[in-house]
Amino acid sequence: MLTAAMEKILTDARETGWVMEPEAKRFFSLGGLDTPRFFWAKKEEEALQVAMEIGYPVVAKVVSPRTPHKSEVKGVRLGVQDSQELTTAFQEFSRIEGFAGMLVEEMHSGVELIVGAKIDFQFGPVILLGMGGTSVEIYKDVAMRMAPLKAKDVVSMVQSLQGRPLLEGYRGQEPIGMDKLSQLLISFSQIVMEIQPVMETIDLNPVFCTFSRALVADARIFLKKKPCGGLPLSLRLPLVEFQK
């Protein structure tokens, strides 16, 4: 069930046509998905303060309505070690088109997966699970099922991945918590069912999976240009051309 705060996030994103990472993470956090500690800093002083509270090293990412693909504009810094590095990153990000601040969040690691959704013109909402990270477009190791998902669907999706041994504890590594991944995918698919009238695609990449967590480390929601009924009137977006 969408909360009023979740509905407002979608409504506020109608001018740009997509929900930027800070708000997308807040959206999914409100929907019960696990996210890291993060803060959208619009000033350099805010970024430095929150980094001290989180504790170094941190991740720094540019926030801009013009840059849905942050890595393509060098808008991501991993493992920022101190205030000097963070200040340098903020100043460099500020020169990126449409700069609207910096996302500062805690560092995490684990097996990288991608979780996504799209609306198929014939079958409706479809959920994607695959081996994630920057190499996802190269290996294309993904599985897709129609939403909503059940636990047996998650098992089937995982079993069809060529990278499955990495999830099961390859060469002595700790296996991921399948219960945590299953919970994330099922909850995600339920959210997708509710917002399908206004969504086009969703990317959660990467999702860091360990034995104890399935953590959404990045998120984007792209909205339809011509939504249909099925959600409250506040989410039926006007028929305008969005920037992508």
Co-location of 145 and 206 in the same domain = yes
Q: Which of 61, 29, 33, 55 is nearest to 180 (CA)?
A: 33
pTM of the predicted structure, to 2 decimals: 0.89
Please report which confidence band the pLDDT of residue 121 belongs to, taking 50, 70 and 90 as the band edges. confident
Same domain membership, residue 166 and residue 119: yes
The two structure tokens encoding residue 34: 């696990």
In a domain, 242, yes or no: no
Nearest Cα neighbor of 219 from 46, 30, 52, 15 is 30
Q: Kindly state whether residues 168 and 207 are assigned to the same domain.
A: yes
Q: What is the model's pLDDT at position 134?
A: 63
Name the strands in the sheet holding 38-41, side by side, starting at the edge strand that comes first in the sequence: 38-41, 102-106, 58-62, 76-80
- Assess whether 217 and 173 both reside in one domain: yes
Residue type (1 letter), 78: L
* CATH number of the domain enclosing 136: 3.30.470.20
> Looking at residue 66, what DSSP letter applies?
T
Listed in sequence order, the residues at least 6 apart from 69 whose beta carbon sits closer than 8 Å to its beta carbon are none
Once rounded to an integer, what is the mean pLDDT over residues 226-239?
46
120 and 189 belong to one structural domain: yes
Kindly calculate the radius of gyration of the chain based on its CA atoms and give it in whole angstroms.
18
Tell whether 199 is covered by a domain.
yes
Reported as a single tens digit per residue, the pLDDT across 41-81 is 999 999 999 999 999 999 999 999 999 989 899 999 999 99
The enclosing H or E element of 57 equals none
Alpha helices (H) in the chain, listed in sequence order: 4-12, 21-30, 44-54, 83-93, 136-139, 151-159, 164-168, 178-195
Q: What is the mean pLDDT of residues 202-222?
A: 97
| First-to-final CA distance of the chain | 28
CA dihedral sign of residues 82, 84, 87, 91: negative
Residues 91, 142: one domain?
no
Res 23 pLDDT > 50:
yes
| Predicted pLDDT at 138 | 65
Distance CA 113, CA 176 (A): 11
CA dihedral angle for residue 138, residue 66, residue 127, residue 228, rounded to 10 degrees: -150
Assess whether 52 and 164 both reside in one domain: no
Tokens of 170: 């390859």
CA–CA separation, 51 and 102 (whole Å) = 11
Q: What is the pLDDT of residues 146-163, one digit of tens each?
A: 999 999 999 999 999 999
Confirm if 188 and 35 have CB atoms less than 8 A apart.
no
DSSP assignment string, 168-195: H-GGGPPPP-HHHHHHHHHHHHHHHHHH
In this structure, the answer to whether residues 65 and 131 fall within a common structural domain is no
CATH for 72:
3.30.1490.20
244 occurs within a structural domain: no
Tokens matching residue 142: 């993904």
**Residues 14, 131 share a domain:** yes
Based on the domain organization, do 130 and 228 belong to the same domain?
yes
How many residues in total does the chain contain?
A: 244
Which domain covers residue 222, as residue numbers?
A: 4-35+109-235
Residues 113 and 229 occupy one common structural domain: yes
Q: Is residue 92 a contact partner of residue 80, using CB atoms and an 8 Å limit?
A: no
Please report the pLDDT score of residue 171 as a whole number. Answer: 83
* The total number of structural domains that make up the chain: 2
Q: Of 68, 92, 84, which is closest to residue 218 (Cα–Cα)?
A: 68
pLDDT at 129 over 90: yes
Please answer whether residues 213 and 177 qualify as being in contact, where contact means their C-beta atoms are separated by less than 8 angstroms. yes
* 208 found inside a domain: yes
